[in-house]
Structure formats: C-alpha cells, structure tokens
Amino acid sequence: MNTETYETILDEFSKSNFIQRLEIGEIVKYSYLSSFERMYSSQAVYKIEGKKGIKKVFIKIYKNFHNEQKEKFKATIKRDFKTNLFWYDYLAPIKGFTTFKPVYHSGHLHAIITEHFNGVNIGQLIYKKAKYFPSKKNIDFFSNGISKTGKLLKILQDKKVTDKKYNFNDIIDDVDIRLVKLKNNPYAKFSEKNRQAILNFYKRCVSEFPDEEHSMVHLHLDFTMGNIMLNTDEVALHDFGEIGVGHHYFDMTRFYHQLELLKYKPIYRPGVINKLQNTFLNSYGYTDGPNDLKFRFFLLRHFITHFVGVARLDILPIKQKMYNKWVILNHHKNIKKIINI
C-alpha cells in the first residue's frame, strides 16, 4: 500500500470532528514512520504533530479477503471499530490495562485509526527469546508479562453479561463441523472412529457438568500472545473482531493452548513453557489444573480447530508440509490424552 492512500485517510480524519479524540489540537503535519502487510489488512504508523502536542497513530486498511458485498464489508469495519471502542471504554477506569484508543473509522476508505501503543508484542518476544536456554532475566520478564496477561483476562470477564446459562451443546455442534472436515481430509489421517470418540467425550462431559454452571461473560475470541502488547506501565489487548459472549474457559484455554503448541518445537524447552502456562493460570485465578474436565472440554476444541488448519497440506511448500505432518502426529497424541483413550 503506498503512502498516498494512508495520507488520504489522514486528510479526511483531520477535517472531521474525530480529530478531537487525539487531544493535540489542530493538525500541523504528519510523518510516515513504518508500514507492513498482513493477509487481511495493510497497516502503517504515522507521527501526527498538532498545535497542542504530538501523537503516533496506527492506520489499518482492511482488505476484502472474502469478497463480501460492499455494504457488508463496510459494516464489518464499523463493527470492529465499535468493538474496539467498547473495550477501550471498559478498561479506561482500570489502571495498568488498556487497548489501543480508537479515534476514527472510514467506511468508504475501509480504514480504522487508533492511537499507537508504545510497547512490545509478548508473542514475538517469547518466540525469539524463549528458545533453547533462555536466561533467568528473560524468563522473569516473560513471566511478569504473562502474569499481567492472566490478570487482564480476568478483568475482562469480571462482569457477567446475561442471566442465560452457557449451553455446552453449542460447542459440540461447532466442533463436529470441524471433525467432519478432518475425516474428509486424507492428510489428517482422521477416521470416523476418531470422530465418534471425541463426540462421546463431549457428551460424557455435558452429562457430568452440574446444571447450575455457568454464567456468560464477554469474550475476545482470539485471546493470544500475538494480540498482547506490554510496556513497563500497561498491558494492551488488541485485534478485536466482535464482542463475543460465552463461557469464561474459552479465552483462557485459547491462550494456554497457544503456549502448548510451542512444545511441538524442540527449540522450546517444555519446562520453560510449563512455567509460563502455570503463571498464566495462577494469575488468572484458575486453580483446578489442566486435567479438570471443563478445562479439557474447551482445550480440545482449540486443538481440533488448529488441526483443521495445519492439515491443509496440499497448498504448502515441502518444508512447511513436513513440519505440519509432525504437528498432526502430535495433535493425535494430545487429543487422545485429553479424552483419555
């Protein structure tokens, strides 16, 4: 994406009433700092100088990857902006936790502008610095960030959103769609017997869960290391799609699962990853442990979802294909472990 497109968005923003959200007065000039491309968006960072101060902003231009109809695509961008605004307002009174401040969205230019957060991505840090034999200093730094992340998730879920109870059968229907895809994919080496074993596990779980459980909470739906930024003062959660509602174990086991995947790579020591997982669960306030039935119920869903993605071997280069075969083998082992067969 060329800088001219980003600057068109900034010109429109500077002439709108939304400019007041930056709290730097009338814009004097702006300067390009960096940009990068992702599958679903083009993104850039700009420095904006106003008569009353200077701020950095983050511009995200959406790509219509799924070829949605024009109005539906614009509605998706507006929804994302409103979701980000919801979470920003939700976290605003809570010291030490935040998200990127949303300041502007343009439907016809397919863009959102947020204030830039000055921090580091905890996922990138762990991927790079937790390899092999990380220093105690690095482990302590990771653990501190992971601890804050657990506390952040707990804060997001502190308030129940409805008196309606979570229906565990909903996840079974959702999972079975994925199980059928695995069964029909020859690369997955996944049989009807495997599918039935998983469905039987889920049905057994539902029959054993007490009727009085569980209230519904807000969900991020993609609560992962890549969506967590931190600095010395704050932890910021970003990349919201929509305001989700569901069982509080969903986001918690999602984050745990992402750490678990690092154990598939020999460059990460299981002992280090275990420590990070335990730190996350403890700071979240979860004490039942990963063998708890409800925990396994939701963790299994994340394994299966990931399994579907990595089993698409026909579209991959040879090196990636070989690694994904290794992941598939480990997924089979972990799924059997979770359902106790």
Question: Within this chain, do residues 195 and 242 fall inside the same structural domain, yes or no?
Answer: yes
- The confidence score (pLDDT) of residue 212 equals 60
| Residue 45 shares a structural domain with residue 106 | yes
Stretches where the chain sits below pLDDT 70 are: 211-213, 341
In which domain, by residue range, is 253 found? 120-339
Residues 42 and 129 in one domain: no
pTM: 0.93
The answer on 124 and 105 residing in a single domain is no
CA dihedral 35, 114, 240, 307 (to 10 degrees): 10
Contact 246, 166 (CB under 8 A): yes
Domain CATH for 25: 3.30.200
**pLDDT of 341:** 64
The token pair that represents 155 in the structure block: 């804060």
Both 109 and 258 in one domain: the answer is no
- Quick one: 252 and 323 in the same domain? yes
Tokens linked to 165: 């109870």
- Phi and psi, residue 252, nearest 5°: -65, -45
Q: Looking at 115, 141, 163, which one is the last position of a domain?
A: 115
Tell the burial category of 260 from Cβ atoms under 10 Å away from its Cβ (0-12, 13-18, 19+). Answer: buried
The pLDDT of residue 66: 86
pLDDT at position 211 is 66
Tell whether 237 and 110 lie within a shared domain.
no
pLDDT for the residue numbered 213: 62
pLDDT of residue 261: 97
Sign of CA pseudo-dihedral 126, 128, 132, 134: negative
Residue 226: which of 113, 327, 127, 331 has the closest Cα? 127
Q: Write out the H or E segment, with its range, that includes residue 126.
A: helix 122-129
* Statement to judge: residues 126 and 169 lie in one domain: yes
Neighbouring residues of 222: CB distance < 8 A, sequence distance ≥ 6: 239, 241, 254
Domains in the chain: how many in total?
A: 2
Amino acid 2: pLDDT = 83
The domain that holds 284 is classified in CATH as 3.90.1200.10
Amino acid at 33: L
Residues 78 and 135 in one domain: no
Residues contacting 30, CB < 8 A, separation 6+: 7, 10, 46, 47, 48, 49
